[in-house]
């Protein structure tokens, strides 16, 4: 009987000590009960996906760090601790999340030949490039603008719009020979050309008040706003 009482008292003391130690955090309860958590593989999951999985597995998930990555898309899990398949008595899991590819400065490619400009962008790992062309006073195929502009911070995956010059917009010089001055003014305006110097001559074999010659010649392709010089047949006074 005496031995029984001694054993009972010792058991009670041990149990009380264990409860105290576990409540104080000195001795984790999992060490006593043998309860462990199985850590799932979260690599490649989105941050939200990892959070859902952690709740299902009754794990306490924290984001330890966010870093740039060329391999992992923005918002996906790069690594974790403890590693996948680990058995742990602690239900805490930390993850490292991707911030996406590093940002770079948009280079200044204005004035370059458009193909050379595209090659330079690709060297900077900028591959989402859209080429557009429009008329300008700049030489043909030269870069006249970019979007984003030079010097801005951009992501590797951002679309870069490169605008190249198609050269000046051209128009055809109309035939003014034998036409009146008022006709010349109207047709030149329609063609987006300008009436330039008016030289007066007298040719009695031609009707007076009509245009004898012009420069540039009819049918020539010239820049818009180009001035056309005419020779007007006028009777001597």
What pLDDT shows up at residue 14? 52
Q: Please list, in sequence order, all residues whose beta carbon lies within 8 angstroms of the beta carbon of residue 149, skipping any fewer than 6 positions away.
A: 106
What pLDDT shows up at residue 156? 78
What single string gives the DSSP state of each residue in 184-202?
HHHHHHHTT-EEEEEEEE-
Give the largest CA-CA distance in the chain. Answer: 154
What fold characterizes domain 29-98? Trypsin Inhibitor V; Chain A (3.30.10)
Provide CATH code, domain 103-165.
Answer: 3.30.10.20
What fold characterizes domain 170-233? Trypsin Inhibitor V; Chain A (3.30.10)
Please identify which residue in the block is written with the tokens 């984790």: 28
What single string gives the DSSP state of each residue in 150-218?
TT-EEETTS-EEEEEE--SPEEEPP--TT-BHHHHHHHHHHTT-EEEEEEEE--TTS-TTBEEEEESPT
- CATH 3.30.10.20 domain span(s) along the chain: 29-98, 103-165, 170-233
- Report pLDDT digits (tens) over 177-199: 999 999 999 999 999 999 999 99
The tokens for 66 are 């966010």
What pLDDT shows up at residue 35? 64
What pLDDT shows up at residue 175? 97
What pLDDT shows up at residue 179? 96
Q: Which residues does the chain have with pLDDT short of 70?
A: 1-35
- Report pLDDT digits (tens) over 145-154: 999 999 898 8
What pLDDT shows up at residue 2? 56
What pLDDT shows up at residue 158? 87
């Amino acid at each position: 009987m005496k031995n029984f009482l001694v054993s009972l008292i010792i058991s009670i003391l041990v149990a009380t000590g264990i409860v105290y130690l576990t409540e104080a955090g000195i001795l984790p309860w999992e060490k006593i009960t043998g309860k462990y958590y199985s850590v799932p593989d979260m690599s490649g999951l989105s941050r939200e996906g990892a959070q859902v999985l952690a709740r299902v597995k009754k794990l306490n998930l924290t984001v330890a760090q966010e870093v740039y990555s060329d391999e992992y898309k923005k918002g996906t899990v790069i690594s974790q601790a403890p590693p996948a398949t680990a058995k742990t008595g602690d239900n805490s899991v930390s993850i490292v999340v991707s911030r996406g590819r590093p940002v770079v400065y948009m280079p200044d490619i204005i004035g370059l030949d458009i193909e050379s400009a595209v090659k330079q962008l690709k060297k900077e790992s900028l591959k989402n490039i859209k080429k557009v062309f429009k008329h300008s006073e700049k030489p043909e195929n030269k870069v006249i603008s970019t979007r984003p502009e030079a010097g801005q911070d951009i992501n590797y995956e951002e679309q870069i719009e490169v605008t190249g010059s198609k050269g000046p917009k051209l128009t055809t010089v109309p035939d003014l020979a034998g036409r009146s001055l008022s006709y010349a003014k109207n047709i030149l305006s329609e063609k987006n050309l300008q009436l330039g110097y008016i030289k007066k001559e007298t040719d009695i074999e031609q009707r007076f008040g009509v245009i004898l010659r012009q420069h540039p010649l009819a049918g020539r392709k010239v820049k818009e706003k180009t001035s056309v010089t005419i020779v007007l047949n006028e009777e001597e006074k």
